[in-house]
Structure 1
Amino acid sequence: MQRFIIAAGLTLFTSLAVAAPDAFQASYTVTAKGLEMGVMTTSLRYNGNTYTYQKRTEANGLAALLSGDTLTERSTGKKNGEELIPAQYMHHHKNKKKDKKDEFSFVTPTQTSGTFNGTAYQLTVPDGTLDMATLELYLMDALAAGKPLNYHIVSRGKLQDYRLRNVGKETISVPAGEYDCEKVEVVHTDGERQTILWLAPKLNYAIVQVRHKEDGDTIETRLKQYQ
């Protein structure tokens, strides 16, 4: 199976302060070609001045029998007042044919050290750079506060720019119910992919739906339960 969910990003601007979201748990259905292929669970937890944001996707039904696909993504870090500061990140995609892992730590705010598919790397990055999981939490705050949606992230051993644009409002129905949403599109420079996210102000701008199109395939992740 393809990677289940595409997320959004982190700001390039001087002020990176973010209002930390409240702790939450959510579950999503993952569909491809109109068929349910898996379930994703997410949780944001706080323990004193630390946070853990984790997402785990597992194939189900026939997809589980054929691929045994699992994807675990986790970011841990510090909660400094209302600001979240990532410290460690892990992305692990495993199935019957492959086992790929991306892990890194922020040694300092401008230096990362990690391994991608067994190859070690170190990167010098701009202050305020985030990982692909924590950037979702920053996006929630950016929409609530009307901040720019331009970001730096570290992913797959590289420093990348991540840019999004707000393309309006839309009311959508998902398994969890009907929500008025902000509709945000990831700006892909290659023109061969399209990624759109719907985030609900009613749920503190949590992601309600993601639609990713690539190579003629469409993967949708839709909110099933939120608490």
Structure 2
Amino acid sequence: MKRLIVTASFALFSSIATAAPDAFQASYTVTAKGLEMGTMTASLHYNNDGYTYQKITKANGLAALLSGDTLTERSSGQKSGATLIPNNYLHHHKNKRKDKKDEFTFVTPTQVNGTFDGNAYQLSVPKGTLDMATLELYLMDAMTLNKPMNYPIASRGKLQDYRLRKLGKETITVPAGEYECEKIEVMHQDTTRQTTLWLAPKLHYAIAQVRHKEDGDIIETRLQKYQ
């Protein structure tokens, strides 16, 4: 169940030019082995010169009864013209057995201070480093303007290099309807893992579907409603 919640959540900085996406709300179903295991909601809101992007994933049905899994992921920051500049990030994964949290702040463009699993850390990062949530917003922009999809990411007290590549166009059917999508692959260093995203141009390149394969299991997050 842990991987289900984390994958569903997969479910952005001033030195990288960007066109900020429009505000939106979306809901998704999360399935594993053909069974619906949870739901995810995602929303992007603007308030004056700030933004908040939040995703909440919850197990439902039998999965909720057995695990009680919930994941809250939130990024907030500034909107400077058309650029989103992340300031604060939270990744909080909780179930009946554990309560794990990664929370940090960009105190300067090159310094991150945070706590992961109860341990404080400081991390030096290059300008343009993003968090995992705002990465998705920058990806929407990269598709619109045909930019390279390589991003430095701060996560769990470490600096990671995220690289994605286009696989071509594909039309898919999800609960929200049929969409022609750009198919994108996350280039994992661990070759036993595979993550594929489908981004819908009709929805300003919002995520229509995510499929994650690992240890023989397939977990899918599929768009149910977008507005």
Fold-level match, TM-score > 0.5?
yes
- What residue in structure 1 maps to residue 180 of structure 2? 180
- What residue in structure 2 maps to residue 156 of structure 1? 156
The Cα shift of 1:156 comes to 1.1
- Structure 1 consecutive aligned stretches of length 4 or more whose deviation exceeds 2 Å: 4-8
Residue pairs, 1:1-227, within 5 angstroms: 1=1, 2=3, 3-5=6-8, 7=10, 16-227=16-227
The Cα shift of 1:195 comes to 0.1
The Cα shift of 1:7 comes to 3.3
Q: Is the 8 A contact 1:6 1:210 kept in 2?
A: no
Amino acid aligned to 1:43 = S
Per-residue deviation, residues 161-217 of structure 1 (Å, max 9, x unmatched): 000000100000000000000000000112010000000000000000000011111
Aligned residues: 224
Q: Is the 8 A contact 1:185 1:196 kept in 2?
A: yes
Per-residue deviation, residues 100-152 of structure 1 (Å, max 9, x unmatched): 10000000010000000001100110001000000100000001100001110
Q: Is the 8 A contact 1:7 1:135 kept in 2?
A: no
Look up the SS of the partner of 1:36 in the other structure: strand
> Percent identity over the alignment?
75
Q: Is the 8 A contact 2:21 2:204 kept in 1?
A: yes
TM-score normalised by structure 1 residue count: 0.96
Amino acid aligned to 1:95 = N
Amino acid aligned to 1:162 = Y
Amino acid aligned to 2:62 = L
Amino acid aligned to 1:120 = A
In structure 1, list runs of 5 or more residues that go unmatched.
Answer: none
Q: Is the 8 A contact 2:9 2:73 kept in 1?
A: no
In structure 2, distance between residues paired with 1:61 and 1:190: 32
Amino acid aligned to 1:78 = Q
In structure 2, list runs of 5 or more residues that go unmatched.
Answer: none
The Cα shift of 1:6 comes to 5.5
Q: Is the 8 A contact 2:15 2:127 kept in 1?
A: no
Look up the SS of the partner of 2:213 in the other structure: strand
Amino acid aligned to 2:158 = K
Amino acid aligned to 1:70 = T
In structure 2, distance between residues paired with 1:142 and 1:111: 25
The Cα shift of 1:4 comes to 3.3
Look up the SS of the partner of 1:5 in the other structure: helix
Q: Is the 8 A contact 1:51 1:78 kept in 2?
A: yes
